[in-house]
Structure 1
C-alpha cells in the first residue's frame, strides 16, 4: 500500500481501518492523533514482520474520528468484535457468562440465572463460566432454602400453589402463605452464601439446628441439617486465596510452541469461584503487551469488571514508541524533547517484600512496544500539528484510559495493577498455571488441527476459521424458515446464529436461491466456507444465485448429504457416519473416510444447523396455530392475536389474565379489554 497524503489524515482522536482489495477489514487500530499513528506505519525501517505482512495485503484506509480517546477505545473494541480482522488480536470467545440475580426491592425476591448485569438496583453474583455448574448450584440452593421459582407474571396469575410448594421447596408467596419478613430470611441466607460469608451462615445454621433438637423440633432440625450440607457442598469447591476477602480478576500469560495462552481467574469475596482460558495461535511473547491491552478492552466491554484487575506486569503504553521518538520530527509534527522523555519513561516495576521474585522470564521487563506494532507519542507531545486546536489537552496513557472506561462500565473505580504482595503473586501463579495448561491442550490437538485437515481435504486456501451452515425447514410449504449457524475456530458462535423468515414455499431450491440475496444483504464477515445441508442440487442452486449476483467467488461452497442405502435412498438410520461431501468443482463426492475427524466435524455442524432451524420453524408453527385459534373469535384480528401471543405466550396465560392485565396492553382500551376478557374466557 502506498503512503497516504498526510494532509488527508485528520489529527483528531479516532479509529483507522485497513482494508484489502475485496473491501474486507483486515486491521483496526485506535489513535490519539490519527495522522501520527497512521504515518508511523510507513517508516522506512523498524517495522515488525506482522505489520509488513498486513501492509502487503492492505489496499485502502478509512478513518472514523471521535471527540475523545475514550470514545476511540470503545469504538475500536466494537469494530474488532464486528469485523474480526485477520491481523488483530481478537477475543474469539466473548460470550456473556452466567450470573445469579436477586432483586431485593421485590417483596418476594427470586433467584434467577441471567447472562448480563444491568443497572437496575438488583444484586448480581458470579460470573460462572459453566452454565451447567451454575444451574446445579441454583437447584441445590432451592432445595436447601425455600424460594419461589416462578416468574413475576406466573406468580401474579396463579390460583393455587405450585408443585414445589408441596415438595417443601417453595413457601407459596403467590397464595399469601408466607410473609415478606419470613420469606426474606431465606433470601438473606442465600445472599450470604453467594457473597462468601459461609462461616457465619454455617455457625448460625448449626446453632439453630442444636436449639431445634433440644426443643424436640426434629423436622426443623432435619431441615437445618440439610441446609448445612448444601452450604458445605457449595463452598467446598471454592479455594480461599484472600484472607481479607475482596473481588478481583487475575490474568496470567504463558507462551506455547505455536501460540500464546491467557488465563483469567475470578476471585469473589476472597475465594476463587471460576476461571477461563483463551489461546491465540501464531502469537509469541513479544505480542504480550498488545494482547493484554486488547483483551482488557474487548473482554470487559461485555462483562462488568471487578474493582481490581491483577496483571502479571504493567505493559508499556502502545502509543509510546521510543523508535519514533528518536526519529527527527516532520514539519507538521514538532515534539519537545522533555515531553518525549517524560512520555517514554517505562513504568517502574513493583518493589519491596511484595515484588514478584518468581515471575516468568519476560515478566520483569515487558517486551518493547516497538516489537509489536508501530506506535507514536501521545497527543500531548505533539505541540504543533497541522490542526493545533485538536491537541489542547494532555492525553491519557493506555492504563489510565482503560481504568476510566472500565470504571464507567462498573459505575465505580477500577484499578489495573501488577502484583503487590505474596497473595497477588499466588493468584498470578495460579492464572499462569491455567494458561500453560490451555496452551498444552490446544497444541496437543483440538479444533485448529481439525480445521487444518478440513481445509486440506476440501482443497481450501487455508483452514476455514469461520464456517457457516445453512438449512431449510417447513411443513407442507408453510412457515418456511432458513437457519444459519456459525462456527469460528471450530466452536459454535450462538450469538451469530440467524433465522430467516422466507415466503411460504415447498421448493427448497427456490427458497435457497432467494435466501442468497438475503445473506448478501447482511454483508461481512464472509465465511471461509459455506456448508449447505443437501446434495448437488442445493449446492448448484446457491452457486447459481451467487453467480447471478456477481459474487461467484466470494467464498467457498460445500454441501453435505446423507449416504445412500441399498435401494438408492438417503440412509437416515441412527449411527450413519457415511455422509457425502460435494464441492462445486467435482461431480463425485469427496473421498472422505467414514468416521474421519473432518467428516464428523462437518456432520456436527450440519446437525447443529438442523436442530436450530427445526426449533425456529416449530416456534413459528406454534405461533401461527395460536394466532389462528384466536382469530376464530369474533373481533380479534391478526394484529390483536399477535399482541396477545407476544405478551402472554400461551392460551393458559391468556385465560388467566385479569381485566387490568388486558388494559395494560398497548392500544387496548377499557371497552376492548372487557370484550377480550369475555371472549378469552370462552376459549377452549
Structure 2
C-alpha cells in the first residue's frame, strides 16, 4: 500500500502523542483534521492540562467527541499570560472560522455621527470607518437607520447643515433643507457664525447627554425673545424645544443610572442562538442589533456569550460597562483583556435587580422574539429550497445560490451584480458588484458583460479556494436571461472546469409578464412553473433583488461620473481650485489646452500648481 493510500490516524491517541512535548504554559491550541483544516481553536491557562482532557477516550459531550475523532494533528502557540491567550484565541477564531467553535458571523463596523471641525460652519454627517477626518465623533450607533433617525432629529432641533463643502460653497440661495426647517442656511448668511457656533455646541451637548442644560437655555432664550417682542424668534425657539422633547420621548429606553454601556442578552433554543446588543451612550439609546452566532447543540450559554464578547470587541472599542444576561466562563479574564485593549477599566456585570436588570430583561425579550422570527423564516426558506431541488432536479439542497444581473444605459456605466441567497435568506454581506472593464465590448452586449462577470468570478474562486472547502462556491447559479445567456455562461464554466455547478437561466415569457417566466438549462427542455407556485415567487424575489442591486450600483456609478472631469485626478486640485479653473477657462478641455502663463493667471493657482497642471495634461502621452 502506498503512503497516499494509508489512512491517516485520528482521535484521542493522536492527541496523547503531543502531551510529552507540552509544558504548563498558557497558550492557544488548534485541532486539525486529516486535510489540515482547522476544526477548533481553544485557549488554556495550562496547555498540558487542557490537552490531557482531550486525550481521554471517554467522558466528552457529543460535539467534543466528534471533534476529537476528527483530529489528525494539533498546533500550539504559547503566550505570556492567559489574557493574551484569550485575545489570540478570539482573533484566530474570526480568521479561521473553525467548524466546532462558536462563531460570530456578522462582523460589520458601526456608524458614528461626525461634527466636522475644519470649517467656519461645521457639517454634521454620518461616518463609518477610520476616524481620519478632524472633528468630534459620537457613537457607535447600532445601524445606519439609527444614525439617520438621530441626524434627522438633530436637524429638526439644531438646524445644522449636512451638505458637503462643495455644495456649501456653490449655494446662491437656500436649499430645500432650509425650506422645511431642517437647516439654518449658513451658506447664504441666514445665520451668523456666532449663532451657528452656539447651535453646534448645543448639538454636541445633546450628543453628550446634557439635554437638560440645552432645554433650560432654550426656554430662557424663548422667554427673553417674547419679552423683547421678537415673536418670530420666540416661535422658532418654541419649535426647537418641542422637537427636543419629541426626540427624548421617541428614544424608548433612556436609562437614568446607566450613561455608557452595551447591554448584551443571549437567548438559545433548539441549537440556535440570538444575541441582542443595545448601545447606551451619554444616557441615550443609540439603537440595537441582533446577531445569530453559529452554535452547536451542546454548547452552554457561558461559552456562547464569552465567544461572542471576545469576537465582537476584537476590532471594536468596548464601553465602560458591559451588562450581560449570563456570566461568562472567565469574567475576570475577559474584563482584564478588554481593559488592557483600551487602557481603562471595563466592567462586566450580570445585574440581578434594579434598572440594569430591567434593561437586560428588555434586551432578552428582543432576543427571544428575534430568534422566533428567524427560526420561522428559516423553516420557510428550507421548504422553498427543497422545492427548488425538486423543480430543477438539483443534486442537493443548495447552501449558496448566486444570482447575476447587469445594468447599463446603451452600454454606458455598465455594471454587473451578484446577490447571494442561502438557508437563512438573502446574504447581503456576500453581495458583489463588478465594474465592466471590457474595452472591446459592443455597447449593450449583455452576453459579453455576463461572460466578463462570470470569468472574473470563477477566476477568483479557483485562485482563493481551489479545493472548494471555504463555503464560497455556489451550489446553483441563476442567470437573468434565456438560452443565449445560458450558453455563454456554460462556455465559461467549461473553460474553467466547473461544469458540475447547476445553472438556470430565468427569462420572461413571450408577453414579458411576471409569472410567465421560462427556465432554461443546458441540454434540457424549457421549463415553466405554475403561476401560484411558491418556488416561482422565490425565484422572482431573488431575481428582483439582483436587479435592484444592479440598478442601485449602476446609478451610483453614473452619479459619480456626472460631475467628473480630468481635473479630478490632478494632484493638488481640490473643489475650490477646480471651480476657479472651470470658471476661468470654461471647460476641463480648455484647461488641458491652456499654456503655462494662462494657468498661472488663475486666482488661487500658484506657480507650482500651474506647472503641475500643465505637466499633467502635456506629459501623459
TM bracket (short chain): 0.7 to 0.9
Query: Conserved in 1, the CA contact under 8 Å of 2:90 and 2:314?
Result: yes
Q: How far does residue 660 in structure 1 lie from its aligned partner after superposition?
A: 8.7
Query: Conserved in 1, the CA contact under 8 Å of 2:174 and 2:188?
Result: no
Query: Conserved in 1, the CA contact under 8 Å of 2:209 and 2:282?
Result: yes
Describe the shift of the 1:625–1:531 C-alpha distance in structure 2 as closer, same or farther (beyond 3 A): same
Alignment of 1:60-459 (within 5 A): 73=86, 76-82=89-95, 84-103=97-116, 107-116=120-129, 118=131, 122-155=135-168, 157-158=169-170, 160-163=172-175, 167=179, 169-174=182-187, 178-239=191-252, 242-257=255-270, 259-279=272-292, 283=296, 286-317=299-330, 399-407=331-339, 410=342, 412-419=344-351, 421-443=353-375, 445-455=376-386, 457-458=388-389
Cα distance in 1, alignment partners of residues 531 and 207 from structure 2 = 49
- 1:316-344 Cα distance to aligned partner (Å, 9 max, x none): 24xxxxxxxxxxxxxxxxxxxxxxxxxxx
Query: Conserved in 2, the CA contact under 8 Å of 1:453 and 1:463?
Result: no
Name the counterpart of 1:670.
609
Query: Conserved in 2, the CA contact under 8 Å of 1:469 and 1:532?
Result: yes
Describe the shift of the 1:473–1:173 C-alpha distance in structure 2 as closer, same or farther (beyond 3 A): closer
Cα distance in 2, alignment partners of residues 20 and 440 from structure 1 = 38
Alignment of 1:492-507 (within 5 A): 492-494=427-429, 497-499=432-434, 501-504=436-439, 505=441, 506=445, 507=448
Q: How far does residue 261 in structure 1 lie from its aligned partner after superposition?
A: 2.6
Describe the shift of the 1:498–1:242 C-alpha distance in structure 2 as closer, same or farther (beyond 3 A): same
Would you say how many aligned residue pairs link Structure 1 and Structure 2?
571
* TM-score of the aligned structures, taking structure 2 as reference length: 0.76
Name the counterpart of 2:594.
none
- 1:449-489 Cα distance to aligned partner (Å, 9 max, x none): 31453145326676544443333456666766443334463
- 1:137-165 Cα distance to aligned partner (Å, 9 max, x none): 3233223322222224544x436354258
Cα distance in 2, alignment partners of residues 20 and 649 from structure 1 = 62
Describe the shift of the 1:469–1:541 C-alpha distance in structure 2 as closer, same or farther (beyond 3 A): same
SS at match of 1:129: coil
Q: What residue ranges of structure 2 are gaps of 5+ in the alignment?
A: 1-9, 585-598
Query: Conserved in 2, the CA contact under 8 Å of 1:96 and 1:116?
Result: yes
Cα distance in 1, alignment partners of residues 186 and 490 from structure 2 = 60
* TM-score of the aligned structures, taking structure 1 as reference length: 0.70
Name the counterpart of 2:515.
577
Describe the shift of the 1:509–1:242 C-alpha distance in structure 2 as closer, same or farther (beyond 3 A): closer
Name the counterpart of 1:483.
417
Cα distance in 1, alignment partners of residues 326 and 368 from structure 2 = 17
Name the counterpart of 1:559.
504
SS at match of 1:564: coil
Q: How far does residue 294 in structure 1 lie from its aligned partner after superposition?
A: 1.3
Query: Conserved in 2, the CA contact under 8 Å of 1:560 and 1:579?
Result: no
Query: Conserved in 2, the CA contact under 8 Å of 1:238 and 1:272?
Result: yes
Describe the shift of the 1:653–1:63 C-alpha distance in structure 2 as closer, same or farther (beyond 3 A): farther
Name the counterpart of 2:478.
532
Describe the shift of the 1:660–1:305 C-alpha distance in structure 2 as closer, same or farther (beyond 3 A): farther
Describe the shift of the 1:518–1:13 C-alpha distance in structure 2 as closer, same or farther (beyond 3 A): same
Q: How far does residue 88 in structure 1 lie from its aligned partner after superposition?
A: 3.0
Name the counterpart of 2:4.
none
Cα distance in 2, alignment partners of residues 183 and 14 from structure 1 = 55
SS at match of 1:265: strand
Higher relative contact order at CA 8 Å, sep ≥6: structure 1 or structure 2? 1
Query: Conserved in 2, the CA contact under 8 Å of 1:452 and 1:463?
Result: no
Name the counterpart of 1:610.
547
Describe the shift of the 1:211–1:250 C-alpha distance in structure 2 as closer, same or farther (beyond 3 A): same
Cα distance in 2, alignment partners of residues 123 and 462 from structure 1 = 52
287-296 or 601-610: bigger deviation: 601-610
Name the counterpart of 1:18.
32
Q: How far does residue 614 in structure 1 lie from its aligned partner after superposition?
A: 4.4
Name the counterpart of 1:329.
none
Q: How far does residue 500 in structure 1 lie from its aligned partner after superposition?
A: 5.5
SS at match of 1:446: helix
Query: Conserved in 2, the CA contact under 8 Å of 1:450 and 1:597?
Result: no
Q: How far does residue 176 in structure 1 lie from its aligned partner after superposition?
A: 6.4
Q: How far does residue 615 in structure 1 lie from its aligned partner after superposition?
A: 4.6
Q: What residue ranges of structure 1 are gaps of 5+ in the alignment?
A: 318-398, 631-639, 680-684
Query: Conserved in 2, the CA contact under 8 Å of 1:531 and 1:557?
Result: yes
Q: How far does residue 100 in structure 1 lie from its aligned partner after superposition?
A: 1.7
Name the counterpart of 1:382.
none
Q: How far does residue 292 in structure 1 lie from its aligned partner after superposition?
A: 0.5
Q: How far does residue 603 in structure 1 lie from its aligned partner after superposition?
A: 3.0
Q: 2:524 aligns with which of 559, 563, 587?
A: 587
Q: How far does residue 426 in structure 1 lie from its aligned partner after superposition?
A: 1.5
Query: Conserved in 2, the CA contact under 8 Å of 1:252 and 1:312?
Result: yes
30-39 or 209-218: bigger deviation: 30-39
Query: Conserved in 1, the CA contact under 8 Å of 2:261 and 2:323?
Result: yes
Name the counterpart of 1:636.
none
Q: How far does residue 309 in structure 1 lie from its aligned partner after superposition?
A: 0.2
Describe the shift of the 1:446–1:457 C-alpha distance in structure 2 as closer, same or farther (beyond 3 A): same
Cα distance in 2, alignment partners of residues 83 and 646 from structure 1 = 44
- 1:247-286 Cα distance to aligned partner (Å, 9 max, x none): 1112222233452332222223334442223345765584
